[in-house]
Chain A
């Protein structure tokens, strides 16, 4: 800021030096046109998304923060980012490198839920069990951190329940596409996502946002069902919501049998409908032709 004022004073009436004016104008235009917060770069150079879109960032829920509030001073040891010697210093996949404990400073309850939730458990297992294997895993198979589901720079605040829910279905669906598709084929998904009914359940209403429960345990499932269906019993939890066998363990024979049964009934009903409708459409059509023929013959 001081440098700015010095330049400004040089440029103000009374100062006649052309070179300083030129320098000032160049500085100003660089400040206005150039990247605003180059430290926030997260992806390797040359790929889209290198810089943060400050317009979108300013409109986001975190828009009032300075870069340092979340990113600190971007130092490791004595080296500071950006490092002219090493262009890749402190650059890489932010979802894997960022210290998400910083989120805990403001989002304590959900952070704690995440830590005891299924996603964090899988992440810990992936990182510790075969330690070298973790880095070799494709990005999509690594358990998610905060940043995989939430956009830290562009997250919108003050969204309605339905708006959040619609985003959620596509976010969860990036790793659980079969579950997202079958949810949308279910009454819950149709009412909530397609028709915007805020009383219908989105993903997290049953599975918990940060607990990420699989609900394979019947007691857990019953608790989830009872949030909206207080009279639910254990049988109620066996209603198939995600009608798919994808990602289902081999030993879950009960659900596999249920999905197969639903499929068989669907196929049989389709055949029945096609046969009956086909017969009567043909019947009516040929009948029409015959009566038209008779009418025309009478007119002759």
Chain B
């Protein structure tokens, strides 16, 4: 989303320090949430017993889950504040072609990319963010808000049932659980495979940690963006 600053012709800064920091904190928070949450959901399993014992019981599991929830949602809030700053002060575009805003072009890209999987079409010329990166981001961004909301229902059921029927707590529980399964199944498998473990990037994609990417990678992965920088 930021305009690219050129360090040398060969190196580009893809992620700002704030974005890298938020990614690190969300990574830790999300993992903590998954481990503590699933230890409770699957509490009859031996590994859940082990983990609950390690942290000191069900009460501590619940406390840690809420702790990780607060720091993870804190990142969402910081990100939202930054989006406002980016839009209002830096006069950036949060819906333009360089943004993470979903477009019709992403659907077209997806079908073309899938054509490439079967050797029928070439790799689409991706802009700054590809369709799967947009999906990763939007799924997490929306997911954290819905998980946060259902999580609040489960955190303060006494408060929410003063104006909502009691069954909403049960529905929040179901939504929280299935969304957690969805998020873990996507982030711990699809996200890691597509960003790190694919033959193109294996063994690790460092861009999100040091912010740097090379001209060669830009040409291969984000040619549209490179074109717009070097116009």
Q: Interface residues, chain A, CB within 8 Å of chain B?
A: 184, 187, 190-191, 194-197, 199-200, 229, 231-233, 235-240, 243, 258, 261-262, 265-266, 269-270, 272-273, 276-277, 280-281, 283-284, 286-292, 294-295
B43 A287 Cβ-Cβ under 8 A: no
B114 A283 Cβ-Cβ under 8 A: yes
List residues of B (174-211) whose CB comes within 8 Å of A's CBs.
174-175, 178-179, 181-182, 185-186, 189-190, 193-194, 197-200
Q: Within the complex, which residue of B117, B119, B182, B198 is in contact with A273, where a contact is CB–CB below 8 Å?
A: B182
A-B contact pairs, 22 of them (CB 8 A): A184-B44, A195-B52, A196-B57, A232-B158, A235-B161, A235-B165, A238-B161, A239-B161, A258-B170, A262-B167, A269-B175, A272-B182, A273-B185, A276-B186, A280-B186, A281-B190, A283-B190, A286-B118, A288-B197, A289-B117, A291-B200, A295-B199
Give the distance in Å from the alpha carbon of A266 to the alpha carbon of B167 in the complex. 13
Please give, as numbers and ranges, the residues of chain A lying within 8 Å of B163 by CB-CB distance: 235
Residue of B at shortest CB range from A271?
A: B178
A287 B44 Cβ-Cβ under 8 A: no
A239 B170 Cβ-Cβ under 8 A: yes
Give the distance in Å from the alpha carbon of A238 to the alpha carbon of B61 in the complex. 26
Q: How large is the interface on B (under 10, 10 to 19, 20 to 34, 35 or more residues)?
A: 35 or more
Q: B67 contacts the other chain (Cβ, under 8 Å)?
A: no
Taking the nearest CB of chain B, how far is it from the CB of A215, in angstroms? 13
Please give, as numbers and ranges, the residues of chain B lying within 8 Å of A262 by CB-CB distance: 167, 170-171, 174
A194 B119 Cβ-Cβ under 8 A: no
Please give, as numbers and ranges, the residues of chain B lying within 8 Å of A276 by CB-CB distance: 182, 186
Please report whether the interface of chain A is mostly helix, strand, loop or mixed according to DSSP: helix
B162 A235 Cβ-Cβ under 8 A: yes
A235 B164 Cβ-Cβ under 8 A: yes
Q: B157 contacts the other chain (Cβ, under 8 Å)?
A: yes
Given A199-B59, A269-B174, A287-B117, do A233 and B182 touch, yes or no (CB 8 Å)?
no
Given A266-B178, A280-B186, A281-B189, do A239 and B59 touch, yes or no (CB 8 Å)?
no
Given A197-B58, A231-B158, do A277 and B182 touch, yes or no (CB 8 Å)?
yes
Q: Considering the complex of A and B, which 3 residue pairs feature the smallest CB-CB distances, nearest first?
A: A238-B166, A269-B178, A194-B43
Please give, as numbers and ranges, the residues of chain B lying within 8 Å of A196 by CB-CB distance: 57-58
Taking the nearest CB of chain A, how far is it from the CB of B210, in angstroms? 23
A195 B170 Cβ-Cβ under 8 A: no
A191 B43 Cβ-Cβ under 8 A: yes
Given A277-B182, A288-B193, A290-B117, do A195 and B175 touch, yes or no (CB 8 Å)?
no
B171 A261 Cβ-Cβ under 8 A: yes
Q: B169 contacts the other chain (Cβ, under 8 Å)?
A: yes
List residues of B (65-115) whose CB comes within 8 Å of A's CBs.
114
Q: B1 contacts the other chain (Cβ, under 8 Å)?
A: no
A272 B178 Cβ-Cβ under 8 A: yes
B157 A239 Cβ-Cβ under 8 A: yes
Taking the nearest CB of chain B, how far is it from the CB of A252, in angstroms? 13
Residue of B at shortest CB range from A287?
A: B117
Taking the nearest CB of chain B, how far is it from the CB of A108, in angstroms? 35
Residue of A at shortest CB range from B110?
A: A283
Residue of A at shortest CB range from B162?
A: A233
- Best-buried of A195, A265, A287 by chain B (most CB within 10 Å): A195
Q: B222 contacts the other chain (Cβ, under 8 Å)?
A: no
Q: Within the complex, which residue of B44, B117, B185, B189 is in contact with A286, where a contact is CB–CB below 8 Å?
A: B117
